[in-house]
C-alpha cells in the first residue's frame, strides 16, 4: 500500500477567466478542498504520497469528521491513468471489520464509509466515474461513485460536506454535456445549507465555488434561474419526501417533520417536528408516519408513538400495506405487523417474509416484490437481475401499483418500467429515460404522471402521441407526487409543496410553503 503513483498533469491551477480553455479541466480535478486544511498532518501526508498508504488509511478509517476526510481524499488527488485508492480503502475496511474482502457487500458499509469510498472512486477514475468492477455481480463492487455518494447523502442529509461533494461528483458526470448543471448542483447545496449549518471550512467552499462559478453564465444563457435568496426560517419543513391525503387535508413528510396543509387556505394547520420523515400511509382512519427515529399515528386530534429508535443512523421506519390489508412496518431489516387489539406492533408472521429490501410491495394479486439495492428485483423467490432481459434498468428505487393493478418500477438511472404479467418482464417507458422519481395514474381522467427528479412532470393523456412536459426545476429536487380525490396533482419539492390544476389547455401552479 506504500507504492507511490505518478500525479500526472497538474490541473489545479489559477483560473484566469470563463473561457473554454479555463474551464477545460473538470469539476473533480479543479475543486480544491485540501488547501483550506493544509494545517492537518494527514493532508500533508496525502499530498506527499498520493496513495492511500497505511497512515492515510488509518486516518480515513478513524473517527475524524467528514470534512477532514474529504480534504485528505482531495489531497490524494487523481491520476490520468487511474488509481486504486478506493480499493485500498475497502481492503482496509474489511481488515478492520474482520471480514474477507471478497465477501464485503453494501450492507457492511455505514453511510460515512459509502461517502469515503464513493469520493475515492470518483477521484480514482474521474473521466469514467467507474465502480470497483465492471463485471462483478455483487452490489458493492458494481456501485458507481455517484450511487455510493447518493446513498450517503440520503442517510446523512444534515452533513453539508457529504452533500456538497456528491454535487461536485454529479457535476463531473454532466461536465461533457450540461455546463449549467456543473454550477447549478453545488449552488443548490449552498442554498439548502446556510453558513452556520456547513461543516466544511469556508475557505474550501469559496475555493471550490471560484471554479464552479465559471459555469454560471451558461445557466443565464439557457434561462435557468438559480435561487440564492434568503432561506425560510423553517427550510427543513419545506424539504419534502412523501405526500398523502388525510381527512380532506394534504400531509407532507419532510426533512424536519410532518406538515398538515389546508388546501383551501394554503395554510399549515399543524406541524410536528421530527427528524427525516420519509413514509406516509392512511390506514384505519388514521395517518401513520415513519421517521428516522419514530413510528407515529395521528387520529386527527392526537399523536401517538408506537416504536422509537433513538440510535437509528439511516433509513428509518417504512410503512407498507400488507397482502390482506394489514399495516406493516419495516425497520432495520425486520418486519412488524400492527395488532389492533393490543394497539401495538409485533414481529410479522413468517409467511410475510422479512423487512429486508430497499423497497417492498405486496401486490393485490398476492405477489411479494422487493428491491435489493443495485442488485436485483425479486418476485416472491424469483430473481430479476438488473440490466437483464427481464429487467433492463440499473437503479430501481420504488414500486408502484396503480388503481387497475398494473405494476410499475421507478428507476433513478433509466426512468420508469411497466411490468408485463404475461411475458413476466419489465417494459421501459420511453417518455422519461433517466432520474425517475415518482409515478401516479389518474384512472378517472385517464392520465399517467411521470416525475423527473430535477426537471419536472411528464403528463400522458390516454391516446396522446407525446406527453406534456411541465418544467418544475424551481423545486430543485422532486421525490413524490399525489393525485387527490379532486384530480389535483401535488408535487413534493425540496423548497415547497406545489399543486397543479388543469385549466383548459394550461396547468396552474400554486405554491404551499412555510415562511414563518
| 188: pLDDT strictly greater than 90 | no
224 — pLDDT class (breaks 50, 70, 90):
very low
The residue ranges of every structural domain in the chain are 27-222, 239-349
The 3-state secondary structure of 136-163 reads CCCHHHHCCHHHHHHHHHHHCCCCHHHH
- Res 269: pLDDT: 93
pTM, full prediction:
0.67
pLDDT above 90 covers a percentage of the chain that reads 60
| 8: pLDDT strictly greater than 50 | no
- Res 91: pLDDT: 94
Query: Considering only CA atoms, which of 215, 204, 211 is closest in space to residue 160?
Result: 204
pLDDT digits (tens, 9 = 90+) for 393-419: 998 999 999 999 999 999 988 999 999
What is the C-alpha separation between 15 and 30, in angstroms, rounded? 9
What is the C-alpha separation between 304 and 298, in angstroms, rounded? 7
User: Alpha carbon of 209 to those of 185, 186, 189, 407: distances in Å?
Assistant: 11, 8, 11, 43
- Res 38: pLDDT: 96
User: Alpha carbon of 140 to those of 77, 114, 188, 364, 386: distances in Å?
Assistant: 23, 10, 29, 33, 14
pLDDT digits (tens, 9 = 90+) for 381-390: 999 999 999 9
DSSP labels, 80-106: TT---HHHHHHHHHHHHHT--GGG--G
Query: Considering only CA atoms, which of 196, 212, 289 is closest in space to residue 244?
Result: 289
Sheet with 497-503, strands from edge to edge, namely 480-483, 489-492, 497-503, 506-512
CATH of 239-349, one of 1.10.230.10, 2.130.10.10, 3.40.50.2000, 3.20.20.80: 2.130.10.10
Assess contact for 441 and 403: CB atoms under 8 A: yes
What is the C-alpha separation between 419 and 406, in angstroms, rounded? 7
What is the C-alpha separation between 183 and 516, in angstroms, rounded? 30
| 1: pLDDT strictly greater than 50 | no
DSSP reduced 3-state for 271:
strand
- Res 166: pLDDT: 92
pLDDT digits (tens, 9 = 90+) for 248-263: 999 999 988 999 999 9
What is the C-alpha separation between 186 and 427, in angstroms, rounded? 34
User: Which residues are CB-contacts of 334 (< 8 A; sequence separation ≥ 6)?
Assistant: 347, 354, 355
Amino acid at each position: 500500500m506504500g507504492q507511490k503513483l505518478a500525479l500526472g498533469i497538474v490541473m489545479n491551477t489559477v483560473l484566469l477567466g470563463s473561457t473554454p480553455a479555463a474551464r477545460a479541466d473538470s469539476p473533480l480535478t479543479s475543486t480544491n478542498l485540501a488547501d483550506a486544511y493544509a494545517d492537518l498532518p494527514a493532508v500533508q501526508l496525502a499530498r506527499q504520497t498520493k496513495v492511500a498508504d497505511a497512515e492515510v488509511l488509518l486516518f480515513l478509517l478513524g473517527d475524524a469528521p467528514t470534512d477532514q476526510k474529504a480534504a485528505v481524499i482531495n489531497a490524494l488527488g487523481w491520476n490520468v491513468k487511474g488509481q486504486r485508492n478506493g480499493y485500498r480503502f475497502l481492503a482496509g475496511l474489511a481488515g478492520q471489520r474482520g471480514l474477507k474482502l471478497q465477501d464485503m457487500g453494501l450492507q457492511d458499509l455505514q453511510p460515512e464509509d459509502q461517502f469515503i469510498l464513493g469520493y475515492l472512486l470518483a477521484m480514482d477514475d474521474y473521466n469514467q466515474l467507474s465502480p470497483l468492477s465492471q463485471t462483478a455481480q455483487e452490489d458493492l463492487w458494481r456501485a458507481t461513485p455517484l450511487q455510493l455518494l447518493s446513498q450517503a447523502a440520503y442517510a446523512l442529509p444534515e452533513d453539508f460536506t457529504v452533500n456538497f461533494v456528491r454535487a461536485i461528483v454529479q457535476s463531473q458526470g454532466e461536465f461533457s454535456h450540461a455546463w449549467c448543471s456543473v454550477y447549478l448542483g453545488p449552488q443548490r447545496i449552498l442554498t439548502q445549507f446556510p453558513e452556520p449549518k456547513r461543516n466544511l471550512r469556508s475557505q474550501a467552499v469559496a475555493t471550490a465555488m471560484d471554479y464552479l462559478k465559471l459555469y454560471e453564465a451558461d445557466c443565464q444563457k439557457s434561462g435557468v434561474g438559480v435561487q440564492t435568496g434568503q432561506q425560510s426560517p423553517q427550510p427543513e419543513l419545506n424539504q419534502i419526501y412523501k405526500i398523502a391525503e388525510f381527512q380532506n387535508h394534504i400531509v407532507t413528510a419532510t426533512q424536519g417533520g410532518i406538515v398538515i396543509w389546508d388546501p383551501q387556505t394554503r395554510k399549515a394547520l399543524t406541524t410536528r417536528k421530527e427528524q427525516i420523515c420519509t413514509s406516509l400511509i392512511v390506514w384505519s382512519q388514521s395517518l401513520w408516519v415513519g421517521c428516522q427515529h419514530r413510528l407515529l399515528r395521528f387520529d386527527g386530534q392526537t399523536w401517538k408513538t408506537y416504536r422509537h429508535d433513538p440510535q437509528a443512523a439511516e433509513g428509518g421506519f417504512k410503512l407498507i400495506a400488507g397482502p390482506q390489508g394489514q399495516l406493516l412496518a419495516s425497520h432495520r431489516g425486520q418486519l412488524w405487523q400492527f395488532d389492533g387489539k393490543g394497539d401495538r406492533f409485533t414481529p410479522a408472521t413468517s409467511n410475510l417474509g422479512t423487512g429486508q429490501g430497499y423497497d417492498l410491495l405486496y401486490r393485490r394479486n398476492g405477489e411479494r416484490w422487493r428491491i435489493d439495492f443495485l442488485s436485483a428485483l425479486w418476485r416472491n423467490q424469483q430473481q430479476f437481475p438488473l440490466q437483464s432481459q427481464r429487467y433492463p434498468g440499473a437503479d430501481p428505487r420504488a414500486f408502484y401499483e396503480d388503481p387497475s393493478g398494473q405494476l410499475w418500477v421507478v428507476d433513478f438511472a433509466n426512468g420508469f418500467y411497466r411490468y408485463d404479467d404475461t411475458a413476466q418482464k419489465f417494459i421501459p417507458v420511453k417518455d422519461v429515460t433517466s432520474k425517475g422519481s415518482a409515478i401516479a395514474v389518474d384512472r378517472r381522467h385517464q392520465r399517467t404522471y411521470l416525475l423527473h427528479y430535477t426537471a419536472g412532470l411528464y403528463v400522458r393523456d390516454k391516446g396522446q402521441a407525446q406527453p406534456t412536459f411541465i418544467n418544475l426545476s424551481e423545486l430543485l429536487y422532486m421525490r413524490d407526487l399525489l393525485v387527490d380525490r379532486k384530480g389535483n396533482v401535488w408535487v413534493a419539492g425540496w423548497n415547497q409543496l406545489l399543486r397543479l390544476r388543469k385549466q383548459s389547455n394550461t396547468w396552474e401552479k400554486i405554491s404551499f410553503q412555510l415562511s414563518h
